[in-house]
Amino acid sequence: MERVQIAEDLSFSRIVHGLWRLNEWEYSKEDTLSLIEHNLSQGITTFDHADIYGSYTCEGLFGNALELKPSLRNQMEIVTKCGIVLPSENRPEHRSHHYNTSKEHILKSVETSLHNLKTDYIDLLLIHRPDPFMDPKQVSEAFIELKQEGKVRHFGVSNFKDHQWDLLQSHLPFSLVTNQIELSAYHLENFEDGTLNRCQQHGIPPMAWSPLAGGKVFNGEDDKSVRLRDTLHQIKEQTGARSIDQIMYAWLLQHPSKIMPIVGSGKKERIDRAVESLELSLSHDQWFEILQSSMGHDVP
């Protein structure tokens, strides 16, 4: 599996596995361990979490599986996020849905993530969403402390626009290493508004969340889903791909910005198809055909 250099001392697998939906899969600890080992055998070593996934349960489900075989920890990279506060029966003290990027909240959130994931360190911590109340000095103090204590190796952001990235970066003594953004043939906003260009300009490999538009392309009945599905099926036939998800992954992988798709399926065969898509080649015409099908019109 191709590796992407995220920082001097950290690389990720080009295909990342996302654990947002882990609690929905109803896997036993052993099933989850089997999935982790399957991914590692395919070269997928990078696992994406957030404190809030599964209403604060997914990190723990992963950690319980990892505890069965702790030696796997040094074969993987763990990404997690903080900054969103959700009301949840697992967090009765949370009264409302809001963002909190205070130093105190970040430090507390990381302690809980380390405990739940059954690990001593997180490879990459992301601020989950831009916080309109963010004090970059507090975020910076938290990041510096976490790095000095060896609890977090590197830091990044998610869903940030350029000005939000610049504000935080200007207060940090080290570089943010990625922006995890929504990117798919269905969701073009970050292709169109300069967010992806900014990553390219600074040589920052972006992580792509919901690379299959959360599954919408398979069964969505809106015009865009129907149109895109039809085009993806035509190109699947032309390329001999096994399924349209492979075309969607290939469409992201071929972009020159070194996008790392985060696979959201819990099914081994679907994860394998994502890995196979690294071998798939779309022509330049096909790439634009998909873009134009998503836009609903030709490029100007």
CA distance 256 to 55: 35
Instruction: Tell me if 48 contacts ligand NAP by CB under 6 A.
Output: yes
Q: Would you say 141 or 272 has its CB closer to ligand NAP?
A: 272
Instruction: Tell me if 233 contacts ligand NAP by CB under 6 A.
Output: no
27 is catalytic: no
Neighbours of 55 (CB within 10 A): 13
Return the residue of 61, 124, 176, 213 that touches ligand NAP, per CB under 6 A.
213
Joined tokens for residue 100: 């909190």
Residue 162, classified by CB atoms within 10 Å of its CB into exposed (0-12), middle (13-18) or buried (19+), is middle
Q: Which residue's Cβ has the minimum distance to ligand NAP?
A: 264
Which of 27, 53, 121, 249 is an active site residue?
A: 53
CA distance 181 to 189: 10
Name the minimum Å distance from CB 298 to ligand NAP.
26
CA distance 238 to 131: 44
Instruction: Tell me if 210 contacts ligand NAP by CB under 6 A.
Output: yes
Lay out the site mask for ligand NAP across 180-209 (x = CB under 6 A, - = otherwise). Answer: x----------------------------x
Q: Would you say 151 or 216 has its CB closer to ligand NAP?
A: 216
Instruction: Tell me if 235 contacts ligand NAP by CB under 6 A.
Output: no
Instruction: Tell me if 54 contacts ligand NAP by CB under 6 A.
Output: no
Residue 97, classified by CB atoms within 10 Å of its CB into exposed (0-12), middle (13-18) or buried (19+), is exposed
Neighbours of 254 (CB within 10 A): 16
Name the residue among 131, 114, 62, 54 with its Cα closest to residue 86.
54
Q: How many residues line the site for ligand NAP (CB under 6 A)? A: 25
Residues that bind ligand NAP (CB under 6 A): 18-21, 48, 158-159, 180, 209-215, 218, 243, 245, 262-267, 270
Residues with a catalytic annotation lie at 53
